[in-house]
């Protein structure tokens, strides 16, 4: 069996949580492979809305094993809160959730470092979620981090103290106050004790054995391709590999075992945090997208920047990830637009034109060139099959498929699990 991968193709918040929850019954395992509590994945069903940060989005489905892989950076305090918030759902976390002993742990000082680095950058700040992601991955690559497996060792406290002392000297350099640290540490060590009661295993063996025995595995991406550490709009990116390749290193699955790659995108674009966004709108249309799409961050509550769909960006994300199927999300958010624009390329300051994505250097001067399509300008409330779609929406899907050269096999028309239309 091959492992399928689901990834965001834009700047995150495409609706990954909704789709993973929708697809989960087709799988035996759902696994997160990168990122950490910077993610906010929203699921809606039975009139309730849930936001998951570190727990995979298969957790509400029966008989699904959920895995947090080695590529993830985990905050024990956040995980404990997430698990406690789900108590009323009677989920058997000891059975249905396994955590890699090789996953990296976020320490309280990683969060302080995140804040110190951001503050020192002034108006060049990344707009980080301040969950400690960057500093934790820095320590991982620097071969200094603590891993989940270290929690089980008798000298965990010594290892912790050694690393925290390094952090303190950096925080001193930034003259960053440590007054909150004792309280954060108390929470942290309580959460570590709780954490030890969970299933901490070598998840790479579990995933590969499952595939070998014919079980279906879905890898759930966090963030999006344009936030990837290598290919995103560096330095305004997150610190992990958000790509298909990241699913291999973040779970220990060989590239030859990758099956379908589901790429998901909104019918428009959003971005939260700083960095280039060529099709960003600062007018009433952008405001309307934010209002209709409720575009406020699931993790930080920040207003998301909104703009038209960017085809060069999508083509790039499809290329670097080997996307085999596309899912278009939040089509309903464009219901009230008489005209819909799609960026097909950019005009550069020297008057030349390019249809290649450029997100570094002088790209902020790149002016989007738009193709205009007629909007459907009606509600999608009653739509239950693809045949029910208004003609203009079908034209939009056909146009995008033609440009992107990958089939759009699913269109989402509302936040609820049921508002998912297969083509
Ligand atoms: P994720 O990080 O990719 O899982 O996405 P988020 O959960 O951060 O943001 C997506 C938001 O859009 C959430 O509030 C979802 O409930 C919502 N959503 C998902 N699909 C749709 C859709 O088709 N239509 C509308 N209106 N909202 C949707
Ligand atoms: P999901 O999984 C949207 C953004 C932050 C910031 C940059 C770096 O819900 O799609 P970090 O906290 O990683 O240091 O932030 O990346 N960012 C996200 N934006 N969705 C996310 O996750 C994000 N995770 C990080 O806003 O610009
Ligand atoms: Mg999100």
The tens digit of pLDDT for each residue in 329-339 reads: 999 999 999 99
Neighbouring CB atoms inside 10 A of 107's CB total 24
| Atom 11 in ligand 2: residue holding the nearest Cα | 128
Three-state SS at 137: helix
Whether 361 has a pLDDT exceeding 80, the answer reads no
Cβ(264)–Cβ(326) below 8 Å: yes
The reported pLDDT for the residue numbered 299 is 79
Whether 301 has a pLDDT exceeding 90, the answer reads no
Ligand 2, residues at Cβ distance < 6 Å: 8, 11-13, 38-41, 126-129, 131, 133-134, 222-224, 227, 238, 272-273, 298
Closest ligand to C-alpha of residue 379 is: 1
Whether 6 has a pLDDT exceeding 80, the answer reads yes
| Atom 18 in ligand 1: residue holding the nearest Cα | 415
Known catalytic residues are 13, 41
Cβ(28)–Cβ(273) below 8 Å: no
Closest ligand to C-alpha of residue 417 is: 1
Residues 6+ apart with CB under 8 A from 356: 312, 316
Q: How many CA atoms lie within 13 A of 155 on its CB side?
A: 4
Assign 362 a pLDDT band (cuts: 50, 70, 90). Answer: low
Ligand 1 atom nearest 412 alpha carbon: 23
Q: How far is the CA of 212 from the centre of ligand 2 (A)?
A: 34
Assign 304 a pLDDT band (cuts: 50, 70, 90). Answer: very high
The reported pLDDT for the residue numbered 237 is 97
Residues in the chain: 423
The reported pLDDT for the residue numbered 360 is 63
Ligand 2 atom nearest 300 alpha carbon: 26
Stated as kind and residue range, the H or E segment containing 402 is: helix 391-404
- Measured between alpha carbons, how far is 146 from 133 in angstroms, rounded to an integer? 14
Q: Is pTM beyond 0.85 here?
A: yes
The reported pLDDT for the residue numbered 238 is 98
Among 8, 10, 18, 292, the mutation site with the greatest number of ligand 1 atoms within 8 A of its Cβ is 18
Ligand 1, residues at Cβ distance < 6 Å: 8, 12-18, 40-42, 44, 293-294, 298, 329-330, 332-333, 412-415, 419
Looking at every residue in the chain, the average pLDDT score rounds to 96
Q: How far is the CA of 23 from the centre of ligand 2 (A)?
A: 23
Whether 69 has a pLDDT exceeding 60, the answer reads yes
Whether 363 has a pLDDT exceeding 80, the answer reads no
Q: How far is the CA of 38 from the centre of ligand 2 (A)?
A: 6
Cβ(348)–Cβ(366) below 8 Å: yes
Percent of the chain with pLDDT over 70: 99
Whether 17 has a pLDDT exceeding 90, the answer reads yes
Q: How far is the CA of 142 from the centre of ligand 2 (A)?
A: 22
The reported pLDDT for the residue numbered 46 is 95
DSSP per residue over 83-133, as a string?
Answer: HHHTGGGT--HHHHEEEETTSEEPPHHHHHHHHHHHHHHGGG------SSH
Q: How far is the CA of 415 from the centre of ligand 1 (A)?
A: 6
């Amino acid at each position: 069996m091959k492992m399928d991968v689901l990834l965001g193709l834009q700047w995150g918040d495409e609706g990954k949580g909704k789709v993973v929850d929708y697809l989960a019954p087709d799988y035996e395992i759902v696994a997160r492979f990168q990122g950490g509590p910077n993610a906010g994945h929203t699921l809606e069903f039975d009139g309730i809305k849930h936001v998951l940060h570190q727990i995979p989005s298969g957790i509400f489905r029966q008989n699904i094993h959920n895995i947090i892989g080695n590529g993830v950076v985990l905050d024990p305090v956040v995980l404990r809160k997430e698990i406690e918030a789900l108590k009323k759902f009677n989920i058997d976390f000891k059975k249905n959730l396994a955590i890699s002993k090789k996953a990296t742990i976020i320490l309280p000082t990683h969060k302080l470092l995140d804040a110190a680095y951001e503050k020192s950058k002034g108006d060049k700040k990344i707009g980080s979620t301040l969950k400690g992601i960057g500093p934790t991955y820095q320590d991982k690559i620097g071969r200094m981090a603590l891993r989940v497996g270290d929690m089980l060792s008798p000298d965990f406290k010594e290892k912790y103290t050694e690393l925290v002392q390094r952090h303190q000297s950096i925080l001193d350099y930034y003259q960053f106050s440590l007054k909150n640290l004792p309280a954060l540490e108390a929470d942290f060590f309580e959460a570590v004790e709780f954490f030890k009661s969970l299933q901490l295993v070598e998840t790479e063996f579990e995933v590969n054995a499952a595939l070998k025995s014919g079980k279906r595995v879905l890898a759930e991406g966090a963030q999006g391709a344009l936030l990837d550490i290598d290919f995103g709009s560096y330095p305004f990116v997150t610190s992990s590999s958000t790509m298909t390749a990241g699913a291999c290193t973040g779970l220990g699955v060989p590239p030859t075992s990758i099956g379908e790659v589901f790429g998901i995108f909104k019918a428009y674009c959003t971005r939260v945090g700083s960095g280039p966004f060529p099709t960003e709108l600062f007018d009433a249309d952008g405001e309307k997208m934010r209002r209709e799409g409720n575009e406020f961050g699931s993790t930080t509550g920040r207003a998301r920047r909104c703009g038209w769909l960017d085809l060069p960006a999508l083509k790039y994300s499809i290329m670097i990830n080997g996307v085999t199927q596309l899912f278009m999300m939040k089509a309903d958010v464009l219901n009230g637009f008489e005209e819909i624009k799609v960026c097909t390329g950019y005009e550069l300051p020297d008057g030349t034109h390019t249809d290649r994505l450029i997100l570094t250097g002088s790209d902020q001067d790149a002016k989007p060139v738009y193709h205009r399509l007629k909007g459907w300008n009606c509600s999608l409330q009653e739509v239950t099959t693809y045949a029910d779609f208004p003609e203009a929406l079908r034209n939009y899907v056909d146009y995008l498929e033609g440009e992107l050269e990958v089939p759009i096999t699913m269109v989402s028309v509302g936040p609820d699990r049921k508002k998912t239309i297969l083509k």
